[in-house]
Amino acid sequence: MDKKALETIVEKGCSRSFKRVLVELTSAVNKASRDYYKETESLLYKYSVLKQKVIEDERDIQEGEIRLKEKSKDIIRFSGNGGAKPPEDQVAEEYYRSRRASMERTKLRVKEIERGIDRFRSDRYFRIVELKYGIPPENFDWEGENLSQRLAEFEPLSVEEIALELGCGESTVKRNRNRLVNALKVAIFGGDAT
């Protein structure tokens, strides 16, 4: 084998190795840039509001309430297309599609949270998660009257309040909250959160 052929093989091998290392490094940086624990906590705190939004959206769909709102006559918008307006039905259809897509994303996020929650509800210390993040119990009636008022009963509690409620130490509350949230982050976000 001549020197030129050997150099070509080495260059190709180095190039492949470099690309592989670059892909792995990029993946590691992307993982490190997201704090899945905090994202999971944020979702748990927002769960009740998101669930309520899904219920209200489904009600709006059934009642045909998803439609373009009337615009104020006082607001003037300048268009980049020479002043030509798209037809009203086209604007209304685009609004409807956009609104439905947003509803579907919210519904999907709620399902992901519920799947994670359901996976750990039988855990001895899951009540800590419910109390810390204001999550209603499994038998909560989401379809009943005065949903906002009933959800207000499930305000998040502090670690001290949870320890008093459950009759255990604060360290037990913190340890089990961390354990469960770490398990939930994997259940919600998958392997990227490991």
Q: Which residue has the higher pLDDT, 145 or 167?
A: 167
Q: Kindly report, residue by residue over 36-65, the tens digit of the pLDDT.
A: 999 999 999 999 999 999 988 888 778 776
Q: Kindly give, in sequence order, each residue whose CB lies less than 8 Å from that of residue 44, ignoring residues fewer than 6 positions away.
A: 113, 129, 132, 133, 135, 181, 184
- The pLDDT of 105-131, averaged and rounded, is 93
Q: Is 111 in contact with 188 (CB distance < 8 Å)?
A: no
Mean pLDDT, the chain, whole residue set: 82
Per-residue pLDDT at 112 = 92
Of the candidates 85, 192, 69, 188, the one whose C-alpha atom is nearest the C-alpha of residue 129 is: 188
The secondary structure element, H or E, covering residue 62 is: helix 36-63
Per-residue pLDDT at 32 = 59
Structure tokens that stand for 115 in this block: 């799947």
Strand residue runs (E) in 13-125: none
- The phi and psi torsions of 3 (rounded to 5 degrees) equal -60, -40
Give the Å distances, CA to CA, from 118 to 50, 111, 137: 17, 10, 11
Distance CA 189, CA 145 (A): 33
Q: Which amino acid is at 125?
A: Y
Residue 20: pLDDT band with limits 50, 70, 90: confident
Query: Cα–Cα–Cα angle for 66, 57, 101, nearest 5°?
Result: 75
Sign of the torsion angle spanned by Cα atoms 17, 21, 24, 27: negative
